[in-house]
């Protein structure tokens, strides 16, 4: 029997979510078809195979960008959809092979055309920002290319080189950017699965685990603003990082149960800050789109830990 808690989220989703997020919801909670998610993503895919059109709700740039493409790839990874003959993947390979917005250090986090459309301030074009935030999406792309790409291709060799560089960087005391550690999770898991030579998987996991634990911290009071939560890195009890962060996971589970508004879903913890004056009307829509994303992720997190 479905709970009132769950039904309130479901009702909100059907009243507010975009088609792509509704397909995600239906897949995870209603026995929906994962192919429907892939089909829905086609509406955000461009002729060059990359993604734009606010598939990542904080960036309304209709042109293909690395981060919008990585956002779409992340959704496909989340549902375990890997039919390389589907048009969505045919397009992604076209985009990646063209090496658009690929610099010597990795794929760019921001692109110049972002500035022409409504967007959050972190999507303002900035080469300084690109140098800070390239790692997460480049690790994600590299993992995908190593797993499904042609080993003889130039793109594969570049992905292999990025992987080698990033694994050496993991031992350093540096900033990995907002999405860096999440990218490492995907990349290290791929290194393990493919049994790539030259890497000590256990040592990599141990090093990454320490950095994840530090990122999560021990202060749950910051979650009302924007703080890193365990669910950024841990999605179920089977996660190799769960045991070391079990106490904070329990706190987040209780936090989610306590903070969902009646008849609604959780709010997001950010605005477009300095860009609100120019793009405040667009943010109202983006906020709702993000709430749909968060509703899915939070409900899935609760269910995976037996709290739903």
pLDDT in tens, 96-110: 999 999 999 999 999
Q: Which domain holds residue 225?
A: 1-30+220-308
What DSSP state is assigned to residue 153?
S
Per-residue pLDDT of 154-189, as tens digits, reads: 999 999 999 999 999 999 999 999 999 999 999 999
Tokens of 264: 């609604």
What DSSP state is assigned to residue 47?
T
| Distance between CA atoms of residues 41 and 92, nearest Å | 11
| Distance between CA atoms of residues 235 and 231, nearest Å | 6
Whether 12 and 158 map to the same domain: the answer is no
Confidence of residue 136 (pLDDT cuts 50, 70, 90): very high
Whether 144 and 289 map to the same domain: the answer is no
Q: Where are the alpha helices (DSSP H) in 195-275?
A: 201-216, 246-259
Whether 247 and 135 map to the same domain: the answer is no
Phi, psi of 266 (to 5 degrees): -65, 145
Whether 97 and 154 map to the same domain: the answer is yes
Whether 182 and 235 map to the same domain: the answer is no
Across the range 30-54, mean pLDDT stands at: 98
What DSSP state is assigned to residue 59?
B
pLDDT score, position 276: 98
Whether 210 and 104 map to the same domain: the answer is yes
Q: Please report the sign of the dihedral spanned by the C-alpha atoms of residue 189, residue 193, residue 194, residue 198.
A: positive
Boundary of a domain, candidates 216, 236, 256: 216
Q: Where are the alpha helices (DSSP H) in the chain?
A: 4-16, 19-29, 34-41, 66-78, 87-98, 127-148, 154-169, 180-194, 201-216, 246-259, 276-304
| Distance between CA atoms of residues 202 and 214, nearest Å | 19
Proportion of the chain above pLDDT 70, given as a percent: 99
Boundary of a domain, candidates 173, 200, 216: 216
Whether 61 and 20 map to the same domain: the answer is no
pLDDT over threshold 60, residue 1: no
Whether 26 and 72 map to the same domain: the answer is no
Q: Can you tell me which residue has the tokens 């570049």? A: 158
Q: 45 has which bridge partners?
A: 51
pLDDT score, position 210: 97
Contact 287, 279 (CB under 8 A): no
pLDDT score, position 148: 98
Confidence of residue 33 (pLDDT cuts 50, 70, 90): very high
Whether 254 and 209 map to the same domain: the answer is no
At 192, which helix (H) or strand (E)?
Answer: helix 180-194
State the average pLDDT for the chain: 97
Q: How many domains does the chain have?
A: 2
* CA 236 to mean position of chain CA atoms: 16
pLDDT over threshold 80, residue 2: no
Tokens of 198: 């030259």
Across the range 287-302, mean pLDDT stands at: 98
Whether 48 and 110 map to the same domain: the answer is yes
Contact 245, 216 (CB under 8 A): yes
Whether 100 and 133 map to the same domain: the answer is yes
What DSSP state is assigned to residue 185?
H
Per-residue pLDDT of 256-280, as tens digits, reads: 999 999 999 999 999 999 999 999 9
pLDDT score, position 225: 87
Q: 119 has which bridge partners?
A: 59
Per-residue pLDDT of 214-259, as tens digits, reads: 999 999 999 998 889 999 999 999 999 999 999 999 999 999 999 9
Boundary of a domain, candidates 216, 244, 259: 216
């Amino acid at each position: 029997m479905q709970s009132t808690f769950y039904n309130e989220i479901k009702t909100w989703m059907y009243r507010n979510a975009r088609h792509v997020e509704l397909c995600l919801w239906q897949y995870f909670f209603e026995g929906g078809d994962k192919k429907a998610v892939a089909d829905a993503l086609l509406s955000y895919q461009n002729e060059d195979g990359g993604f734009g059109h606010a598939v990542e709700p904080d960036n309304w740039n209709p042109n293909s960008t690395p981060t919008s493409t990585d956002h779409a790839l992340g959704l496909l990874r989340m549902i375990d959809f890997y039919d390389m003959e589907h048009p969505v993947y045919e397009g992604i390979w076209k985009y990646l092979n063209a090496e658009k917005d690929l610099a010597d250090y990795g794929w760019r986090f921001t692109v110049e055309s972002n500035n022409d459309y409504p967007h959050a301030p972190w999507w303002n074009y900035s080469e300084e920002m690109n140098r800070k935030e390239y790692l997460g999406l480049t690790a994600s792309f590299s993992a995908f290319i190593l797993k499904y790409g042609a080993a003889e291709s130039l793109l594969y060799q570049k992905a292999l080189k990025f992987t080698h560089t990033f694994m050496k960087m993991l031992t350093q005391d540096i900033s990995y950017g907002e999405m860096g550690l999440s990218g490492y999770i995907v990349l290290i898991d791929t290194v393990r699965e493919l049994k790539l030579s030259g890497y000590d998987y256990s040592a990599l996991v141990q090093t990454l685990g320490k950095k994840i634990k530090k990122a999560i911290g021990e202060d749950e009071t910051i979650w009302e603003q924007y703080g890193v939560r365990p669910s950024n890195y841990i999605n179920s009890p089977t996660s190799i990082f769960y045991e070391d962060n079990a106490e904070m996971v329990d706190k987040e589970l209780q936090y989610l149960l306590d903070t969902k508004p009646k008849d609604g879903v959780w709010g997001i913890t950010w605005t477009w800050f300095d860009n609100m004056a120019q793009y405040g009307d667009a943010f109202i829509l983006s906020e709702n789109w993000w709430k749909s994303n968060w509703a899915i992720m939070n409900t899935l997190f609760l269910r995976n830990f037996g709290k739903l």
